[in-house]
A and B are shown apart, each in its own frame.
Chain A
Amino acid sequence: MLTQRLIPGLLLRGGRLAKGERFASYQDAGLPHTTARAYIAQGADEILLLDVDASRVGRGPDLDAVRAVAAECQVPLTVGGGIRTVADGHACMAAGADKLCVTMTALDRSDLITELAEIFGSQAVVLGIDVLTDDGARRLYDHRNGDMVGRDPLAWARDGIARGAGEIRLMAVDREGTRRGMDLDLLEAVRHAVQVPIVLEGGAGTLEHLDAAFAAGADGVAVGTMLVFSDNNLVKIKRYLADRGRNVRA
């Protein structure tokens, strides 16, 4: 039976890990490869490495960091941030990435999704969707400048999948780092819109939050804050989820 994935999200800034709240007020959270090594030993099902500076300052992926993390990775590695071209994609894959996550760069130029899928296959192309929900209205969020993008998130999800993306990383921006629970309504809406796997991100603060996300059908949950600034670890989290009858990899 296919298990639901627990995916530590590593945010990269200037070669080190950061943890932020709503893409701001970052705190230092260690070195990427030592952190990845620990997470993998504890049972991470996949590693998500996102370079949060790359798109903002207009540079490509941090390949040294990708290589360092990949060297520890006996589980799949998804790399995102600054992938603007097929050449960037090739460089990430050669550095050890298994999947490419495009978020802002796909919004800037949606043909990129198709170009990557035609070479690496849809299963290697993850569309990142950052959604800010304000007063019930869901809008795409551009973390580079804090602006809203004038496209409907659900329409963009459908469009991105039609263009060849094989998975969605769905971030509830207004929950990120807040530890007040995951946006299960958003998950349900996107699950209804597309038929690819969805990795939900943003807002997990307690074991119950993760259990609720899995119960709501998340194919994967990305966790960051909860692992960095609390006494939770993946072993404890997985044991809890297994005890609750969730289908996780032991």
Chain B
Amino acid sequence: MRVIVVDYGAGNVESVRRAVWLAGFDPEISSAPEEVLAADRIILPGVGAAGRAVAALRARGLDEALDEAVCRRGRPMLGICLGMQLLAETLYEFGCHRGLGWIPGSVVPMRDVIGDGLRVPHMGWNSVTATDTGAMFFPGSREPGHFYFAHSYALDVRPEDPIAAATVIYGRTMVAAVRWNAVFATQFHPEKSQDSGERLLGAFFDWAP
């Protein structure tokens, strides 16, 4: 299986590469659109500010390559953190940026979502709950334990939306992962979630959408 970790200058690609390696695969790290098109599994990581990240994807032609590989050819993709948020229509972070538009919705400041009283960023290990949509990624339990979150912005997809694959509670119930067609994407960091993350990555590689 050819696994690619997309490197567009805004990801913790080394951490992701190690985690994928521990899951039993030897991924390529690349920013080349043709590598994206040649891969069997695509991972879009993301740590960083939204505006720069979307600009970097477009500057390398990766937006079109991802659209072709994932949306048209159905190659499974895992988006992580910012790699999930970039799939939204609009990202309101240090301004207003146009995302890839795969998910109908916006990425908005956490503070607007949860109100006052809790610390932002949402930082640390939080317990997630799998939905019917996401059950295949959390083998064995709908309460698969704690995953590592680190984000100041949130995707405004409702927890009861059919694409919601997992939820998390921080002030209110929020979407922690989404799935539709060949896309699975998490707000948390499986590559930094120790055993829980390793199981989830294994399930992603087993997944046949």
- Give residues in A with beta carbon < 8 Å to B: 1-5, 40, 45, 70-71, 73-76, 93-96, 98-99, 117-124, 166-167, 195-198, 219-220, 249-250
Contacts and interface: CB of A to CB of B under 8 A. Distances in A.
Q: Which of B94, B125, B169 has the most CB of A within 10 A?
A: B125
Contacts of A196: 119-121
Contacts of A249: 125, 146
Interface of B: 12, 14-15, 18-19, 22, 47-49, 52, 82, 94, 116, 119-127, 145-146, 148-152, 169-170, 189, 191-195, 197-198
Contacts of A122: 121, 152
The dominant DSSP class at the B interface is mixed
Given A76-B189, A250-B145, 12 more contacts: A2-B122, A5-B124, A73-B15, A74-B22, A93-B47, A96-B12, A119-B48, A123-B123, A124-B47, A124-B48, A195-B119, A219-B123
Contacts of B12: 93, 96, 98
B124 A220 contact: yes
A195 B120 contact: yes
B152 A94 contact: no
Contacts, number: 107
Given A75-B148, A98-B12, A123-B152, A166 B47 contact: no
9 contacts: A3-B146, A71-B18, A74-B194, A75-B148, A96-B18, A118-B49, A120-B48, A122-B121, A123-B152
Given A98-B12, A166-B121, A197-B124, A121 B82 contact: yes
Contacts of A167: 121, 123
Given A119-B49, A124-B150, A249-B146, A74 B124 contact: no
Contacts of B49: 117-121
Contacts of A220: 124
Contacts of A74: 18-19, 22, 191-195, 197-198
Contacts of A123: 47, 121, 123, 150-152
